Structure 1
Amino acid sequence: MELRQFLGALRMRWVFSTLTFLVGAALTAAVVLLMTPQYGSSVKLFVSTPSGGSAEYAASFIVTQRVASYAELATDPSVLQRVVDKLDLDTSYEDLEGQVSASVITGTQTIELDVTADTPELAQQIAKAEAEEVVALVEQLERPAVKDEEPAIAARIAAEPSISDTPVSPNLPLNIGIGLLLSLFVAIVGALLRDLLDRTVKSRQDAEKISGHSVLVTLPYDPQVKKTPLATEAGGSLAEAFRVLRTNLQFADLDSQRQAILVSSALPDEGKTLVATNLALTMAQSGRSVLLIDADMRNPNVAELLGLENSVGVVTVLVGRTSIDEATQPHSSGISFLGTGPTPPNPAEVLDTQAMRDLIARVRKDYDAVIIDAPPMLPVADASILLTEVDGALLLVRHGSTTREQLRLAVSRIETVGGRLFGTILNRTPRRVGDADGYGYGYGHGYGYGYAPTVDTDSTPTAAPAAPPDPEPGGRRIGRRVKR
């Protein structure tokens, strides 16, 4: 992994890394502060040959060799058990072994015993008892074979065991420092692992490589979209993003004077409804006559977004209850809107009819641009049915949500029915990883197609003010452009 990829992964996962580090730091502080203080006591044993002994000269060499053995025997189970019995300790010799250590002071014949315990007094008592037992052990092992002869080597307690009210552990600065370093390490490694194991689309390069088509625009996440979801109201980067999309679509289909564009996504909650609506508004700003059709009969949202009615629309036209002109509603932005009408029990069958094909063919002649908000590609077949009746499709890809396999399947479904994909739109990208476009927003809707995406209850857009239809003389609505 290159340094740029490493830093990019950390930037992408900064929330996870920060939370992991903070949790680790909190756990470290809790563990350190809850640790029982341990107090220490030390005592020194001097190992030598008895003064004036006949074997003093020879024994001086033996002492140097044996003093390390005596230090090791200080923690022998038999010695520790005698200490436990002597002090009547409420512990086993195995536990005591972790509290006692013995070492030889370099260059000397001195053994130092170090003891830790819950109180200073207990530590001193254990140190004294341990020292006495080691002295007794040396005396036993060095006892001469001839009675009344002095041993060649003896051990003596140099001084009384020390006592201190200052705990030797825990070492707060050291333990907290180690805990923070471990937390930081876990946070970094965890972020990298999550990034490596993440199969979602997270960049323009991912989307283009998997789909085989260009990303027409990237739409960075903008929380202000909840308040001003329409480009005509928000202005700024939101409006500019859709102007970029409008321009790119003109280059994607240069030979067509009139365009019928289907907007869909792999799964629900990826932002297709707002993209379709704002694309229609932006096209209308350029002076084109635009009809926005809500073909998502399973979960219509466009009418609510525009502040218009959805009770009359495609379904009522198809069953012959009203005409296209009567069902079309004008909006103050200049676009015309055709809702879904009553929800049918079989949306796919309704869309896959000659009447629906005739409806699309009719409106394509009447408007410069027809934008269709279609259901997601993977859960249902509705969008696939409509693909053969339009010039091309736009496929929404939600950053960090749509997986590579889902995008691949959605593109494959478009190609299977012979549809044309103009390109993809990468939605809800973090601004720090946005592409060169640098414009736009992020938005999503929830759906009821059998999938279970995470629904943001705060993502319901604020409806735009409704524009009451002004009837022309004779009862015609003025929202639809005059047929050319």
Structure 2
Amino acid sequence: MTILDFLRMVRANLKLLLIGLLVGALMGFGYSLLQPRVYASSSTGFVTVGEGSGINDVISGSVAAKEKATAYLSLIKSSAVADEIIAANPEINLTRGEIQESLTASVDSNSALISVSATASSPEAAQALANSSLEAVAKVVNDLEGSSSVRVIPLEDAALNPSPTSPNTPKLVLLGAGLGLALVLAAVMLRRTVDTKLRTRDDATKATDAGVLGILPVSDEISEESILYTNSDHISQEAIRQMRTNLRFVNVDNPPRSFIVTSAEPGEGKSTVSSSLARALADADQPTVIIDADLRRPTIAKKFKVDSKVGLTQVLAGQVELADAVQQFEDTQLFILPAGRIPPNPSELLGSDKMRQLIHELSQEFTVVIDVPPVLPVTDASLLSNSVDGVVLVGAVGKTRKENLAEAAKNLRAVNAKILGLVINRAPRTGLGNSYYGFAYSSNGAYTSYYGKDQQSKKGSKRSAKKAKSKA
């Protein structure tokens, strides 16, 4: 994965990452609320030895005082010191073990300065523990040595600190946010690593070793049920026109006059693509005929809402003349040859000499678009691939498996079929996918902002008026 791929992935999953960040931060904050509050306070004093210690000895620390301070440092956590603290502060209400765990001490290496830190569940308790601990140590030492030569001269009394030292809420919130972000990012990367579906332009080209002719976004105008032409979805219409242009430039000197449109598996939108492409070619004043050669599950007649009783099967059987079976779509350059009656032997009909001759004759006058069954379930597409100038292979984002797409391309090349290119169908416009998948539909307003919304509306109105006038 390149840096650019990573940035695209982050951008495409930005909402999920932000949600993970927010949830992690909230969990960190919630965890901090469940933790007990701990308050801290510390006091400092000088340890002196003997009655005659002067101020200089106190500040610099005599050798004896330094040795005593270091030697008695471990007494801070002793039971005797804890008992003295309890006796001096009965209101603290702490056990001996709790006091021992809450105290820590250190000695300055250059003097007899000793510092004691205490923690407790309240600021007052922490202050009392820190202030009384040094006096308790001095008393225990004097009791042990049987004298009162050890003194503790206070330097800084413990202060009352109302802010708890634990839990560290900002730290826990940041830690939770980072953990939430990392988990979501790991899940996104794992999903991309193990994902077997077609997701990106690179997935399609690597699987088939062919170029991309076009990318059709998710649109109500080019759904599986029907092909609408309201011209309200400028993005989908422009994508179809771009697909038509790219098809023409596959071979500039000898553009394809006939081609089949197929997919690896059913339900990937091959009939939608063939219908949209045929209509786009006809809209460019190029005589076009679309043949429904999917004799197992014909859908072209339903999409264009024409009669499907008479069609290809009757023409190939010699029961009907071609001119009687072909239907013109409205007042356009598009002609439709429906599938007709579903035969018991579709493969034999499509692989027959009559089918090849029919395609050859039609391609002399028309651009022939043939909708055929998927490649992997049946052999119809492979049989017809040598009767046309090329194959347009369709894959659907989030549905087509990359291995199936690769296998379909392999099967077609095994029979010397020429793959003109790929059409990626149902590309997401927004949310998870658009920029990461490289489909360039991140801004739905890009088309109208360039050409002008009013201009497009006027064009749509003029076309609607023209159609209404012709029907009248």
- Which residue matches 1:42? 41
Match of 1:216 in 2: 213
Q: Compare the two structures and name the one with the higher helix fraction.
A: 2
Q: Name the CA shift for 1:404/1:90 in 2 (closer, same or farther; >3 Å).
A: farther
* Residue 346 of structure 2, aligned match among 310, 335, 351: 351
For residue 68 of structure 2, the aligned residue among 63, 67, 80 is 63
> 1: CA distance between counterparts of 2:240 and 2:231?
13
Q: Which residue of 2 aligns with 1:450?
A: none
2:369 aligned with 1:371, yes or no?
Answer: yes
**For 1:90 and 1:314, how far apart are their aligned partners in 2?**
95
Q: 1:421 aligns with which of 415, 419, 425?
A: 419
Alpha-carbon spacing, 1:387–1:130, altered in 2? closer, same or farther (3 Å): farther
Distance in 2, Cα, partners of 1:155 & 1:81: 18
Secondary structure of 1:283 counterpart: helix
- AA partner of residue 60 (structure 1): A
Tell me which amino acid in the other structure corresponds to 2:248: Q
Residue by residue over 1:417-446, the C-alpha shift from the partner in whole angstroms, topping out at 9 and shown as x without a partner, is 3222111223416564687998999xxxxx
Superposed displacement of residue 115, structure 1:
1.2
DSSP 3-state at the match of 1:308: coil
User: In 2 relative to 1, CA 53–265 (structure 1 residues): closer, same or farther, beyond 3 Å?
Assistant: farther
| 1:40 shift after superposition | 1.5
The answer to whether the 8 A contact 1:124-1:162 is kept is: yes
C-alpha distance in structure 2 between counterparts of 1:97 and 1:341, whole Å: 94
Aligned pairs for 1:38-187 (under 5 A) are 38-42=37-41, 44=43, 46=45, 48-52=47-51, 59-66=64-71, 69-70=73-74, 74=76, 100-104=102-106, 106=108, 109-117=113-121, 119=122, 143-144=144-145, 149-150=146-147, 166-184=163-181
SS at match of 2:394: strand
Deviation at 1:308, TM superposition (A): 3.4
Task: Report the CA distance shift for 1:150/1:321 in structure 2 as closer, same or farther (over 3 A).
Answer: farther
Verify: 1:362 aligned to 2:354, yes or no.
no
Structure 2 unmatched ranges of 5 or more: 54-60, 445-463, 465-472
Cα deviations across residues 155-211 of structure 1 (Å, max 9, x unaligned)? 799999766655444444444344445545555566566556656655545544543
- Output the TM-score relative to the length of structure 2: 0.68
CA contact (8 A) 1:218 1:434 kept: no
Asked whether the 8 Å contact 2:313–2:339 carries over to 1, the reply is yes
1:226-305 to structure 2, matched below 5 A, reads 229-230=227-228, 233-234=231-232, 236-252=234-250, 259-296=257-294, 299-305=297-303
The structure-2 alpha-carbon separation of the partners of 1:274 and 1:90, relative to structure 1 and needing over 3 Å to count, comes to farther
Shift of 1:235: 7.2
Tell me if the contact between 2:28 and 2:174 (Cα under 8 Å) persists in the aligned partners. no
Query: Aligned partners of 1:80, 1:325: CA distance in 2, in Å?
Result: 109
Kindly provide the amino acid, as one letter, of the partner of residue 120 in structure 2: T
Structure 1's 266 and 122: CA in aligned 2 closer, same or farther, altered over 3 A? Answer: farther
Contact 1:217–1:437 at 8 Å: present in 2 too? no
Shift of 1:262: 1.3
- Higher alpha-carbon deviation: 211-220 or 45-54: 45-54
CA 1:325–1:155: 2 relative to 1, 3 Å: farther
Match of residue 13 from structure 2:
13
User: In structure 2, how many angstroms separate the alpha carbons of the residues matched to 1:261 and 1:30?
Assistant: 62
The separation in 2 between residues aligned to 1:403 and 1:75, in whole angstroms, is 68
3-state SS, counterpart of residue 376 of structure 1: coil
**Partner amino acid for 1:59?**
A
Partner of 1:471: none
Aligned-partner Cα distance in 2 for 1:98–1:418? 86
Return the alpha-carbon distance in structure 2 between the equivalents of residues 43 and 440 of structure 1: 60
Question: 1-side partners of 2:340 and 2:152: how far apart?
Answer: 102
> What is the number of residues matched between the two proteins?
425
Q: Which residue is 1:447 aligned to?
A: none
Q: Distance in 1 between matches of 2:95 and 2:380?
A: 74
Closer, same or farther: CA 164–372 of 1 in aligned 2, 3 Å? same
Q: Is the 8 A contact 1:53 1:152 kept in 2?
A: no
Q: CA deviation at 1:299?
A: 4.9
For residue 371 of structure 1, give the secondary structure of its aligned residue in structure 2. Answer: strand
1:39–1:168 CA contact under 8 A, matched in 2: yes
Superimposed CA distance per residue, residues 288-339 of structure 1 (whole angstroms, 9 cap, x where no aligned partner): 4323233445554434432335565556667788665555444224423344
Q: Percent sequence identity over matched residues?
A: 26
| Maintained 8 Å contact 2:46/2:154 | no
Worse-superposed segment, 274-283 or 314-323: 314-323
Displacement, 1:38? 0.6
Letter in structure 2 aligned against 1:213: A
Indicate whether 1:412 and 2:410 are aligned. Answer: yes
- If the length of structure 1 is used for normalisation, what is the TM-score? 0.66
2:340, 2:84 → 1: CA distance?
92
Quote the offset at 1:88 in angstroms.
Answer: 12
Change (3 A) 1:123 1:3: same
Q: 1:183 to 1:77 in 2, by over 3 A?
A: farther
> What amino acid is the match of 1:426?
I
Shift of 1:411: 1.3
State the shift of 1:13 in Å: 3.1
**Contact kept in structure 1, 2:268 and 2:394, CA below 8 Å:** yes
Residues 257 and 125 from structure 1, CA distance in 2 versus in 1: closer, same or farther, beyond 3 angstroms?
Answer: closer
Q: CA deviation at 1:105?
A: 6.5
In 2, the alpha carbon distance for the partners of 1:293 and 1:98 equals: 90
| Offset, 1:416 | 1.5
Partner of 1:30: 30
Counterpart amino acid of residue 348 in structure 2: T
